[in-house]
């Protein structure tokens, strides 16, 4: 067995791999490494502890996510008007192992990388260079204006302000811990922002967790609580796992929505270049209303004017557009798989898919010839594969071609 693969796999499993380790790990998986080596490593992890112990080791990948993704990916989509991106099934004997090891294996993501790499380029692929996927990274802007590049900063304490200690953990998570009283102390606002090709995880002082997608930002006071309310502002996309605290409502403000909860799991997509701001509820309950056209407020929620309020149930989504708010029932996992390292598309337009590719791989998209296709696509692939594999799946199921020069991806539609 390749000892380097074993070393990197162990770091990946224990969530201690840095961006360089991850890059090397996935490159080895892209090579012609014998599948048996990876299978043996997975089997060793599986047999070394109970399934319960495996699921309890990390809250990064929720228990049951592997079974959910496997079930959805393998479901047939019989609708003839939808283009289905090919998804390669792993060996039958590996399905049980993959399902039991969501945290280790990103569900079937690594198998998708491994198998899709072996597909020979199609005739429609004009020119695609080697571009690696996004990685863990972000910039923290403190209240005093100081900027901290988290991808270049060592673990440990980064700053202390208003009775709050701000630190970076070994696994690259930003953590706020209360060390004293914040009462009567001017806190100021912090902003955590990701560029294209970056993602990061944040633990707020109340214990709430936030996953920040690429090209996104979140602004909040260091102590989080102001006038009895936990309040923050989001641009882009974030997944929230809110700690329960009925006495302190948790409010997320975006340009077009205001979401209020006391403790729940939900996803907010508020990219300015998307046609709608979408809040998708995974569990618990949230209240959504049109956003107040004000900056991050310091007033209590009780003093805000009454607006149309929508109460969401798990599996529902509130989409806000200039014409109003629409509530629909959805498969919530389709809108949260990004934080588990998966691209999942279901009857999604090419333009929507390319916006996601643009943010994650840090490329600009341009169109040449023809109008935007009305064809929709369904499929799933790891976010940690090279860009050429994602484009290969798209071009094999359409009449489009791609040309990638520098950081510009040209879509050629005949």
pLDDT of residue 374: 75
pLDDT of residue 39: 64
Check whether 105 has a pLDDT greater than 70: no
pLDDT of residue 2: 66
Which is it for the CA torsion 187, 226, 156, 6, positive or negative? Answer: negative
- Which tokens sit at 357? 């590719």
pLDDT of residue 67: 45
For residues 373 and 122, which has the higher predicted lDDT (pLDDT)?
373
Residue reference for tokens 């930002």: 217
Contacts for 245 with CB less than 8 Å, ≥ 6 apart: 206, 230, 262, 263
| Domains of the chain, residue spans | 3-117, 135-330, 340-413
| pLDDT band at residue 118 using 50, 70 and 90 as cut-offs | very low
CATH number attached to the domain at 135-330: 2.60.120.1440
pLDDT digits (tens, 9 = 90+) for 167-218: 999 888 999 998 876 554 557 899 999 999 999 999 999 999 999 999 999 9
pLDDT of residue 247: 92
User: Which fold would CATH assign to domain 340-413?
Assistant: Phage tail protein beta-alpha-beta fold (3.55.50)
Check whether 314 has a pLDDT greater than 90: yes
Check whether 232 has a pLDDT greater than 80: yes
pLDDT digits (tens, 9 = 90+) for 63-90: 444 444 444 434 433 333 345 554 433 3
| pLDDT band at residue 56 using 50, 70 and 90 as cut-offs | very low
- 3-state secondary structure at position 34: coil
pLDDT of residue 68: 45
- 333 φ/ψ angles, rounded to the nearest 5 degrees: -65, -25
For residues 101 and 88, which has the higher predicted lDDT (pLDDT)?
101
Q: How far is Cα 70 from Cα 102, in angstroms, rounded to an integer? A: 10
| Count of residues in the chain | 414
Q: How far is Cα 76 from Cα 281, in angstroms, rounded to an integer? A: 25
Task: From 267, 271, 280, select the one nearest 351 (Cα to Cα).
Answer: 271
């Amino acid at each position: 067995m390749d000892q380097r693969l074993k070393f990197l796999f162990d770091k990946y499993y224990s969530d201690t791999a840095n961006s360089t380790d991850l890059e090397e790990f996935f490159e080895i998986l892209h090579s012609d490494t014998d599948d048996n080596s990876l299978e043996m490593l997975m089997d060793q992890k599986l047999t070394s502890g109970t399934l319960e112990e495996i699921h309890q080791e990390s809250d990064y990948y929720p228990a049951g996510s592997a079974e959910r993704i496997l079930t959805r990916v393998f479901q047939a989509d019989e609708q003839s008007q939808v283009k289905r991106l090919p998804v390669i099934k792993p060996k039958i004997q590996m399905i049980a192992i993959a399902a039991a090891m969501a945290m280790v294996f990103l569900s079937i993501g690594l198998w998708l990388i491994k198998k899709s790499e072996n597909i020979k380029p199609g005739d429609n692929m004009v020119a695609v260079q080697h571009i690696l996927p996004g990685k863990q990274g972000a910039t923290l802007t403190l209240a005093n204006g100081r900027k901290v590049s988290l991808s270049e900063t060592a673990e440990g304490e980064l700053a202390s302000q208003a009775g709050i200690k701000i630190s970076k953990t070994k696994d690259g998570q930003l953590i706020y811990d209360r060390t004293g009283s914040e009462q009567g102390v001017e806190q100021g606002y912090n902003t955590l922002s990701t560029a294209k090709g970056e993602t990061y995880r944040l633990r707020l002082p109340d214990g709430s967790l936030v996953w920040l997608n690429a090209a996104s930002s979140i602004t909040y006071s260091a102590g989080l609580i102001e006038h009895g309310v936990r309040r923050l502002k989001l641009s882009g996309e974030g997944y929230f796992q809110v700690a329960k605290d009925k006495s302190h409502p948790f409010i997320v403000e975006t340009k077009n929505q205001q979401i209020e909860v006391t403790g729940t799991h939900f996803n907010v997509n508020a990219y300015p270049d998307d046609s709608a701001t979408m809040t998708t509820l995974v569990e618990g309950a949230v209240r959504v209303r049109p956003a107040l056209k004000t900056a991050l407020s310091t007033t209590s929620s009780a003093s805000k004017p009454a607006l149309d309020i929508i109460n969401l149930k798990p599996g529902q989504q509130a989409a806000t557009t200039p014409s109003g708010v629409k509530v629909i029932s959805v498969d919530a996992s389709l809108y949260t798989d990004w934080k588990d390292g998966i691209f999942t598309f279901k009857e999604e337009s090419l333009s929507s898919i390319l916006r996601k590719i643009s943010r994650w791989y840090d490329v600009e998209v341009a169109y040449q010839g023809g109008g935007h296709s009305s064809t929709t696509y369904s499929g799933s692939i790891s976010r940690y594969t090279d860009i050429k594999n994602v484009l290969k799946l798209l071009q094999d199921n359409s009449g489009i071609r791609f040309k990638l020069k520098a950081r510009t991806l040209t879509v050629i539609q005949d």
